[in-house]
C-alpha cells in the first residue's frame, strides 16, 4: 500500500472540499484529528470503514481512493461488482439507493479484508 500517496491525495481532497484543517474534517466525519493527521502523513493505514467515511465527506467515490492510493482493481473484481449490482437489482429492487450503497460498501470491505488475510 502506498500510504504516503494516499495521504497526499486525501489532504488534497480535504482542501478541495473546503476543509481548511484536519480538525475540520475530523469534526465533520467523526474521526479523530490524530487519525486524519496520521493518514495524511502516511503513517497510518486506514481501514476500509475509515476510507468509506472519508469518501462521503470528501465527496469522492471510494474506488477513487483506492486507485489514487495505487491499488489496482483486477478484472475479476469489476465482474464481481457488476454481478453484485445485477443481483441487488433483481433481489433487492425495493431497497433505497442509500441502502444499496451501504450493502455495496460492505461487500467491498469483505473483499478487501479477504485479500488482506491472504497476504
User: Burial, 117: exposed, middle or buried (Cβ in 10 Å; 0-12, 13-18, 19+)?
Assistant: exposed
Q: Are 55 and 64 in contact (CB under 8 A)?
A: yes
Rounded to an integer, what distance in angstroms lies between the CA atom of residue 101 and that of residue 83?
Answer: 15
The whole model's pTM is what? 0.60
Topology of domain 3-68 in CATH is 434 Repressor (Amino-terminal Domain) (1.10.260)
Distance spanning both ends of the chain, measured CA to CA:
12
Rounded to an integer, what distance in angstroms lies between the CA atom of residue 14 and that of residue 23?
Answer: 11
Domain map (residue ranges) of the chain: 3-68, 75-118
pLDDT of residue 79: 55
Interval 59-67 mean pLDDT: 79
Banded pLDDT at 74 (limits 50, 70, 90): low
Is residue 96 helix, strand or coil?
coil
Quick check: 45 pLDDT over 60? Answer: yes
CA 89 remoteness from chain centre: 23
Is residue 31 helix, strand or coil?
coil
Rounded to an integer, what distance in angstroms lies between the CA atom of residue 72 and that of residue 109?
Answer: 15
Amino acid at each position: 500500500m502506498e500510504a504516503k500517496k494516499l495521504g497526499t491525495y486525501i489532504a488534497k481532497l480535504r482542501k478541495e472540499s473546503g476543509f481548511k484543517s484536519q480538525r475540520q474534517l475530523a469534526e465533520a466525519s467523526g474521526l479523530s484529528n490524530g487519525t486524519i493527521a496520521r493518514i495524511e502523513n502516511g503513517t497510518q493505514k486506514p481501514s476500509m470503514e475509515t476510507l468509506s467515511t472519508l469518501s462521503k465527506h470528501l465527496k469522492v467515490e471510494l474506488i477513487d481512493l483506492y486507485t489514487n492510493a495505487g491499488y489496482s482493481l483486477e478484472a475479476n473484481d469489476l465482474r464481481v461488482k457488476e454481478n453484485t449490482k445485477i443481483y441487488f437489482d433483481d433481489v433487492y429492487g425495493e431497497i433505497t439507493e442509500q441502502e444499496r450503497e451501504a450493502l455495496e460498501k460492505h461487500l467491498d470491505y469483505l473483499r478487501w479484508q479477504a485479500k488482506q488475510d491472504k497476504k
